[in-house]
């Protein structure tokens, strides 16, 4: 138990260090973007005095290092600041309204919607991928195995927006089973939210299912050549029992890793899908914030995306260590 806690502590410390480095990269990348919020909000009628007044009021006239540590200090205390787009200015000469909606208030409902979408996609894709992967390994070389391989390669090769529009055409236009726009809100009950979320969830399922299914198949097939598997077969154990009882437990580590990576993608890679379906999630909010140069929102979204990736990778590492004792004693 002590060895596991030490490994988890090291992974956690490395994750925090990675998040700090990512926060520096995020801030530097946003600094490198052309233009700023003051010029964007004032448009073509911007005068140097008005731009300077708004920049001074928002603190944009400070040095990048001072602004970074000011932002980082707020983030550590759970304060992501106030959205620039929610501020109002008196005659375009500063005096911003500081009672505007905070970044956290804006992101919270959007992040909740994205988590709901990701949860629906994960509830469909994970069990389906594992089942298809196990069946492909069980019937290796059969027509079913070849069909699944072609299907997964096709889904991996297709861009998300293309898959989205194909599903909209067939499931919302030709056969109107689902609505083409997923405009959910807080007034809808669970089943109404689920109905409007299923179509984008199906797109995400097709995108991530291929990776998990192929990794499951590959991990199982590699183990089927092991001596202990051969011994189980010689003892007369049924093929599906060989896979479920003997091969699958030893193949969990790589399968868990690929599942964790794809779950992270379901949270952070939904930008295109949310834009296509006008889904009010954090991806849609991120695109709108970039469009209006609303930097506090952009920084917060990027940091949440990075934290989700790091947290799920950390979870995958810990679960791999728990399922495979050899990983507790690296050479």
Per-residue pLDDT at 98 exceeds 60:
no
Query: For the residues 79-86, what does the mean pLDDT come to?
Result: 79
Q: Is residue 93 part of a domain?
A: no
Q: Does the pLDDT of residue 310 top 50, yes or no?
A: yes
Helices (H), ranges, 97-234: 103-138, 143-157, 160-168, 190-223, 227-234
Q: Report yes or no on 16 lying in a domain.
A: no
* Mean pLDDT to the nearest integer, 20-34: 85
The CATH code of the domain that includes 310 is 1.10.3720.10
Q: Domain for residue 69, yes or no?
A: no
Task: Note whether residue 68 is domain-resident.
Answer: no
pLDDT tops 90 at residue 313: no
pLDDT value, residue 100: 63
For residues 199 and 179, the answer to whether their CB atoms sit within 8 Å is yes
Domain extent, residue 194, equals 103-328
Residues 100/82, Cβ–Cβ less than 8 Å: yes
Give the HSE-up count for residue 235: Cα atoms under 13 Å, Cβ half-sphere.
Answer: 10
Range ranked top by mean pLDDT from 191-195, 234-238, 261-265: 191-195
**How many Cβ atoms from other residues are within 10 Å of residue 198's Cβ?**
19
Write the CA distances from 37 to 27, 43, 84, 94, integer angstroms: 15, 10, 8, 13
- Supply φ then ψ for residue 154, to 5 degrees: -65, -45
What 3-state class would DSSP assign to 61? coil
In the numeric block, the tokens 């990348």 are attached to 29
In a domain, 49, yes or no: no
pLDDT above 70 covers what percent of the chain? 90
**Residue bearing tokens 């059969």:** 142
Cα dihedral sign for 317, 266, 119, 115?
Answer: positive
Burial class of residue 77 in the structure, from the number of CB atoms within 10 Å of its CB (0-12 exposed, 13-18 middle, 19+ buried):
exposed
pTM exceeding the 0.75 threshold for the entire prediction: yes
Contacts 24+ apart (CB under 8 A), 173-178: none
Buried b (16+ CB within 10 A) or exposed e, 35-63: ebbbbebeeeeeeeebbebbbebbebeee
Three-class DSSP category at 102: strand
| 64 in any annotated domain | no
Which residues have C-beta within 8 Å of that of residue 130, sequence separation ≥ 6? 212, 213, 216, 255
117-121, 212-216, 290-294: range with lowest mean pLDDT: 290-294
Are 263 and 313 contacting, i.e. CB atoms less than 8 angstroms apart? no
Query: Is residue 15 within 8 Å of residue 311, measured between CB atoms?
Result: yes
Top-confidence residue, 230 or 95:
230
Average pLDDT, the chain: 84
Q: What is the per-residue pLDDT for 121?
A: 94
Contacts of 76 (CB under 8 A, 6+ apart): none
- Token output for 89: 């200015």
What domain count does the chain have?
Answer: 1
Within a domain: 273: yes
Check pLDDT > 80 for residue 277.
yes
Residue 142 lies inside a defined structural domain of this protein: yes
* Model pLDDT for residues 115-146, shown as the tens digit of each residue: 999 999 999 999 999 999 999 988 888 898 88
pLDDT at 90: 47
């Amino acid at each position: 138990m002590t060895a596991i806690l030490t490994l988890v502590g090291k992974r956690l410390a490395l994750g925090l260090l990675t998040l700090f480095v990512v926060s520096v990269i995020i801030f530097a990348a946003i600094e490198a973007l052309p233009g700023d919020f003051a010029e964007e909000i004032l448009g073509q009628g911007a005068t140097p005095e008005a731009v300077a007044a708004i920049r001074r009021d928002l603190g944009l006239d400070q040095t990048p290092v001072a602004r970074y540590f000011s932002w980082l200090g707020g983030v550590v205390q759970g304060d992501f600041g106030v959205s620039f787009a929610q501020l109002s200015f008196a005659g375009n000469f500063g005096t911003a309204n500081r009672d505007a909606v905070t970044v956290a208030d804006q992101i919270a409902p959007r992040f909740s919607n994205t988590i709901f979408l990701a949860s629906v996609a994960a509830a469909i894709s994970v069990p389906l991928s594992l089942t298809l992967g196990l069946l492909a390994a069980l019937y290796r070389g059969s027509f079913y195995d070849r069909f699944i391989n072609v299907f997964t390669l096709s889904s991996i090769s297709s861009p998300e927006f293309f898959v989205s529009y194909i599903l909209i055409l067939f499931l919302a236009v030709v056969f109107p089973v689902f609505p083409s726009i997923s405009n959910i809100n807080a007034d809808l009950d669970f089943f109404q939210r689920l109905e409007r979320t299923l179509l984008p969830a199906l797109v995400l399922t097709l995108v991530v299912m291929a990776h998990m299914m192929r990794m499951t198949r590959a991990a199982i097939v590699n183990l089927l050549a092991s001596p202990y598997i051969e011994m189980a077969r010689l003892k007369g154990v049924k093929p599906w029992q060989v896979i479920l009882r003997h091969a699958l437990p030893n193949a969990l580590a790589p399968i868990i890793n690929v599942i964790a990576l794809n779950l992270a993608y379901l949270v952070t890679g939904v930008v295109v899908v949310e834009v296509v379906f006008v889904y009010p999630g954090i991806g849609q909010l991120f695109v709108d914030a970039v469009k209006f140069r609303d930097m506090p929102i952009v920084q917060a979204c990027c940091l949440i995306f990075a934290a989700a990736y790091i947290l799920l990778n950390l979870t995958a590492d810990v679960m791999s260590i728990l399922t495979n004792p050899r990983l507790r004693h690296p050479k």
